[in-house]
Amino acid sequence: MFLTLANIILPVFLIIAVGAFYSYQFKPDIRWVNKLNMDVFIPALIFSVLSSSDFQLINYLHLALGVVVVVLGSGLILWPLVKPLKVSAKTFLPPMMFNNTGNMGIPLLVLAFGEAALPAAVTIFITVTLLHFTLGLYILDRRTRLSSLFKIPIVLASLVGLVFSYFNFHLPSSLALPVEMLGQVSIPLMLFALGVRLLDVDLSDMRLGMVGAIACPVSGILLAYLVAPLLTLPDQQWGILLVFAAMPPAVLNFMLAEQYQQEPQRVASIVLAGNFASLVFIPLALWLALF
């Protein structure tokens, strides 16, 4: 059991560590790499998975519903902590709701459950991304327009991929192969970029960071167990939902807080502490899901 967990977790954290070490040594400007990943490689991965003959959306609807419950439920049940922590809801709740489903989630789920889990992992990523760029942005700024969602390459790739899936369209192999190859770049690059990005944040607010690091996975796991009896999930999808629920806050929360000037340093403390705490919570979730 220990060896199995180590084989799943170590590759993920080793690539993150390589990114962190490289960033410490050379201080690279990772912004253009992140933009390239968000605009090209991740959309290619999403489209490749959704447009493949193996993907059937109906098989993942209950999983997507479970993800929605975990995201929204985490915000609701942790809202009462805002007042005693003396923190703004705009600062605290988004990191509690929106887990790291990209940089860490997709690679970890594929390593844990095999390549067959990639469509489920992409379904989770799309669901969380849509919620983050709609509800998440609305929490930060109520003037956010829904129309801006359709300017995001990940969203466009998701919509086009779903159209291909629904109508059973297929690209010729001469086009499908390069799209698939571009998508394969995204998974290790997400982990490497996460390691680089983590060195840009600090733990200036240790108390808030520690509370968030525990509250995020605990609330997610609790909600996953509460919603499970209401969903008819296959065993593998239930395990995937449980591991997703234990993921730490996404680094994107810090990037958006910085963009909207919503106490980015406090959000950074939550994100960094949460990623350190994932060394405990992710193995626990994997043990619950796999054994």
Higher pLDDT, 135 or 148: 135
CATH number, residue 142: 1.20.1530.20
Taking all residues of the chain, what is their mean pLDDT, rounded to a whole number? 91
Higher pLDDT, 22 or 152: 22
Q: What total number of domains does the chain contain? A: 1
Q: Tell me the average pLDDT across 143-152.
A: 81
Q: How far apart are CA 123 and CA 46, in angstroms?
A: 9
Least confident piece of the model among 66-75, 89-98, 238-247, 268-277: 268-277
- What's the pLDDT band for 206 if we cut at 50, 70, 90? confident
pLDDT(89) > 90: yes
Q: What is the per-residue pLDDT for 204? A: 72
Higher pLDDT, 199 or 58: 58
pLDDT(195) > 90: no
pLDDT(231) > 90: yes
Higher pLDDT, 197 or 126: 126
Question: Which residue type, as a one-letter code, is found at position 114?
Answer: G
Domain that holds residue 131: 2-290
The percentage of the chain sitting over the pLDDT mark of 90, rounded to a whole number, equals 65
Q: What is the per-residue pLDDT for 53? A: 67
Q: How many CA atoms lie within 13 A of 136 on its CB side?
A: 28
Q: What is the per-residue pLDDT for 202? A: 64
Q: What is the per-residue pLDDT for 203? A: 64
Q: How far apart are CA 65 and CA 231, in angstroms?
A: 8
Q: Tell me the average pLDDT across 231-244.
A: 95
